[in-house]
Structure 1
Amino acid sequence: MLTELKSREYYQALLEKKSEYEGVFYVGVKTTGVFCRPTCPARKPKFENCTFFLNAEQALLASFRPCKRCKPLSHPNHETGLVRTLVDAVEKEPEKRWTNQDLQEFSIDPSTARRQFKKRFGMTFVEYARARRMGLAMKHIRSGKPVIDAQLSSGYESSSGFRDAFSRIMGDVPTQSEDHRVLKASWIDTPLGPMVAIANEEALLLLEFVDRRGLEREVERLRENREAAIIPGESEPIRMIKRELELYFVGKLTTFQTPVQFLGTPFQKSVWHQLQAIPSGETRSYTDMARKMGNPQAVRAVGRANGMNQLAIIVPCHRIIQSDGSLGGYGGGIARKEWLLAHEKRI
């Protein structure tokens, strides 16, 4: 999360259209819903209407769409036809899940698209399309409105894109006359970036950073497992985890009391319970975990179960490190893992 000082620096660069900041940051404009490069010729927004991002993927996942004037997904000095074609195609069908066959229909080689997007924007074309689709759904969750409002589609080339992207991931929203099970989803801002929480009326089912790789699939699996639609809103478990996260991030809480429900195999659930038993400020290795569970040979299985955890922070998979003391991986990103471990040690 950017500091106030850094945000002010970026805002001044935006006002002055400083070209040396190209590729350093992008700015999302809350009043228009677009994100721009630092040298965008459009009228400059007020500081309080700006959100700054270090890369385009963050802006997309925060539900901002590319500005049509400065084209932030194009190279500052050269816009390739391939990039322009694919970005335009995604904007026309933002809810679409793209495949290699779709690219071939555009006479575009999938490996070429992947390479060009990765080289210039730090993400593949598939990752871009996924971030755009997920960002649409996240925008509705962040708005907190209880029903899909067609007016929220305004500004998109596809009038149904917002509704379709949300429904594709979260399930069709039930009408009042339908007897469907419903889960609530809410956007939670934290010092490490936004998270999404999904719960029923009794327990929290998912808590993840919105930019976690694979989040879209996690949400879909949850929805299918529970045979329920997911709509923006809050339940008591969501309100409780919001309060507890606030206390956690200011160093006043180390153990979470929000009720949770695990969705997994008996072995996975046992791993997650073991994770919850690791004291705050301490770490364990996969080998330690396997031994603790009475099965020293299950190191890889423990690792896979750790990666399947859907309740970030409160089921602290970030407290698992390599046997040699190195951090290893983390679904929310290594920078966040470092921050969380350092924060818990300070507490």
Structure 2
Amino acid sequence: MSMAERKEEYYKALLEKNSEYEGLFYVGVKTTGVFCRPTCPARKPKFENCEFYETAQQALLASYRPCQRCRPLSHPNHVPEIVRVLVEAVEHNPEKRWTGQDFKNLSVDESTARRQFKKRFGMTFVEYARARRMGLALKKIRAGEPVIDSQLSAGYESSSGFRDAFSRIMGAAPTLVDERRILKAAWIDTRLGPMMAIGDDHALHLLEFVDRRGLEREVERHRKRTRSAIIPGMTEPIRSIERELGEYFEGKRTTFETPLFLAGSPFQQSVWEQLIKIPTGETRSYLDLALSLGKPKGFRAVAQANGANQLAIVIPCHRVINANGDLGGYGGGLTRKNWLLQHEMGVK
């Protein structure tokens, strides 16, 4: 079934409030900024105003908030008190980074919250709060708007949450940016999920899946290192990588030509240069890389440098596996890593 056919099927289920589709998809409504379950009793949106997601986390990262009528973060007709309290707390202060003390202030057991959210939604509460915070901050980046004003689109209660979430990650309130030190960020949809690209007029600085754990801190570190602020927008290197990624996923490209800005130590950069040399469709172990650098005992340092790569796919850290043949780790998730390796074996 094609993506277009699946969307048509999901929209039909939405119109019919078909309970058989509960848990199979969520719908984001562009005109209201909320996401709903298939059986939501609210007035149905037009097809062109719908975006469909397989998980609540995907909808959150796309900047949608939970619908107050159908409450997609609960079982139908049953809203656990702990879920209600925590979701309301996030909406009250969506840019908050949660700590143990925050749970105590709400008289909520942190481990119970973790289990409840993980069991029901496939993510912990902290992951939910992060996805909501990131989605809020990425809202204008996703929309591709080059200038941010103080107002939000319909569906958001106030502008302060967006501005705070954006500025904490990107480094400055959108209207207070020093134009001499600006990087631009854009949302790129790919076959394996959305990615965020950051670049200037000369090179690509960062390319990561938006659901990568630790992405916020990665962006913060980079803009502090470069003494830059980051605003939504497009540059030629970002246009270039968007085009090349499309060709890569179609099996028409195996190497990338977009100019890169490598922000790392000399050792990290030497590791990344070795990664780029790994042929498409092949893999290397951390030990192999250490030996190629003349540092046979440095495989742990190589692994750390591999993990510090902030240009996913382009610098192919997914081609590095454990010496025993296991996939090892990957910031974008092992499912994506396995897909990328299988895809490259088929097009080499």
TM over 0.5: yes
How many Å separate the matches in 2 of 1:208 and 1:11? 30
Instruction: Check if 1:41 corresponds to 2:41.
Output: yes
Long gaps (5+) in structure 2: none
Long gaps (5+) in structure 1: none
How many Å separate the matches in 2 of 1:248 and 1:34? 33
Structure 1 counterpart of 2:62: 62
Conserved 8 A contact 1:286-1:323: yes
Secondary structure at the aligned position of 1:220 is classed as helix
Residue 135 of structure 1 deviates from its aligned partner by 0.3
Q: Deviations over 1:214-247 (max 9, x none)?
A: 1111111111111111001112211221221122
Q: Report matched runs for 1:224-235 at 5 Å.
A: 224-235=224-235
How many Å separate the matches in 2 of 1:176 and 1:322? 46
Residue 177 of structure 1 deviates from its aligned partner by 8.8
Residue 58 of structure 1 deviates from its aligned partner by 0.9
Structure 1 counterpart of 2:334: 334
How many Å separate the matches in 2 of 1:251 and 1:309? 23
How many Å separate the matches in 2 of 1:304 and 1:176? 35
Q: Deviations over 1:168-198 (max 9, x none)?
A: 1112146589464111111111122111100
How many Å separate the matches in 2 of 1:154 and 1:100? 33
Conserved 8 A contact 2:148-2:174: no
Residue 300 of structure 1 deviates from its aligned partner by 2.0
Structure 1 counterpart of 2:99: 99
Structure 1 counterpart of 2:305: 305
Instruction: Check if 1:167 corresponds to 2:167.
Output: yes
Residue 323 of structure 1 deviates from its aligned partner by 2.2
Residue type matched to 1:28 in 2? G
- Give every structure 1 segment of 4 or more consecutive aligned residues whose post-TM-superposition deviation is greater than 6 Å: none
How many Å separate the matches in 2 of 1:26 and 1:179? 39
Conserved 8 A contact 1:91-1:158: no
How many Å separate the matches in 2 of 1:7 and 1:179? 41
Residue 54 of structure 1 deviates from its aligned partner by 1.6
Instruction: Check if 1:286 corresponds to 2:286.
Output: yes
What is the Cα-based RMSD across aligned positions, in Å? 2.0
Structure 2 counterpart of 1:20: 20
The structure-2 alpha-carbon separation of the partners of 1:346 and 1:157, relative to structure 1 and needing over 3 Å to count, comes to same
Residue type matched to 2:222 in 1? L
Secondary structure at the aligned position of 1:230 is classed as strand
How many Å separate the matches in 1 of 2:288 and 2:159? 53
Structure 1 counterpart of 2:295: 295
Aligned length in residues: 347
Conserved 8 A contact 1:278-1:319: yes
How many Å separate the matches in 2 of 1:243 and 1:98? 38
Residue 276 of structure 1 deviates from its aligned partner by 0.5
Q: Percent identity?
A: 69
Structure 2 counterpart of 1:9: 9
Structure 1 counterpart of 2:114: 114
How many Å separate the matches in 2 of 1:284 and 1:178? 43
Q: Deviations over 1:82-132 (max 9, x none)?
A: 111111111111112221111111111222222211121111111111111
Secondary structure at the aligned position of 1:40 is classed as coil
TM-score (norm 1): 0.94
